[in-house]
């Protein structure tokens, strides 16, 4: 799967006082009417429970300028999960999930389905809020390295 290029994004959710954010590349559009996206996270990581429990999530698309932030939310920067949101500028839109203020695009979603598939949890969300920010070079991950286009 390392040969499969993916747009780097940060998936976020808040539930019962716990805010979770992780860097992912497994995300895509499902439908444009109604706006629907899917995102995948590791199924066996208990820290990912808020993505289902919250009933909502935000998919924050990253630009090349966000590579340091991608490292923070992936764990590569050595920042504890509870300290990640001290990096970047965050707000909320409709669902209460954290939204990256300067992201090229933020999809604020209500969870409509969560399904376990092999090692991952597939989250499908209906877009309730959309914010388009400054465009820029996209941040991709391929062959275990970042790339820009």
76 domain-assigned: yes
Q: Is the pLDDT of residue 45 over 90?
A: yes
Residue 31 belongs to some domain of the structure: yes
Report yes or no on 60 lying in a domain. Answer: yes
What is the DSSP secondary-structure string of 108-147?
EEEEEEEEEETTEEEEEEEEEEEEE----PBEEEETTEEE
The answer to the question of residue 149 being in a domain is: no
Q: What is the pLDDT of residues 73-91, one digit of tens each?
A: 999 999 999 899 999 999 9
φ and ψ at 135, to 5 degrees? -70, 165
**CATH number of 81's domain:** 2.30.110.10
What is the per-residue pLDDT across 98-132, written as a single tens digit (0 to 9) for each?
999 999 999 999 999 999 999 999 999 999 999 99
Q: Domain residues for 94?
A: 7-141
Number of domains in the chain: 1
């Amino acid at each position: 799967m390392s040969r499969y290029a993916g747009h780097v994004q940060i998936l976020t959710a808040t539930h019962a006082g716990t805010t979770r954010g992780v860097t992912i590349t497994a995300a895509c559009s499902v439908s444009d009417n109604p706006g629907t996206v899917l995102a995948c996270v590791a199924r066996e990581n208990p820290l990912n429970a808020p993505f289902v429990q919250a009933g909502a999530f935000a998919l924050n698309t990253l630009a090349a300028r966000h590579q340091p932030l991608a490292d923070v939310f992936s764990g590569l920067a050595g920042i504890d999960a509870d300290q990640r949101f001290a990096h970047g500028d965050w707000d909320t839109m409709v669902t209460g999930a954290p939204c990256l203020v300067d992201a090229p695009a933020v999809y604020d979603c209500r969870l409509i389905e969560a399904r376990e598939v092999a090692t991952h949890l597939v989250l499908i969300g209906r877009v309730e809020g959309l914010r388009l920010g400054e465009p820029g070079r996209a941040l991709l991950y391929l062959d275990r390295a970042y790339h820009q286009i």
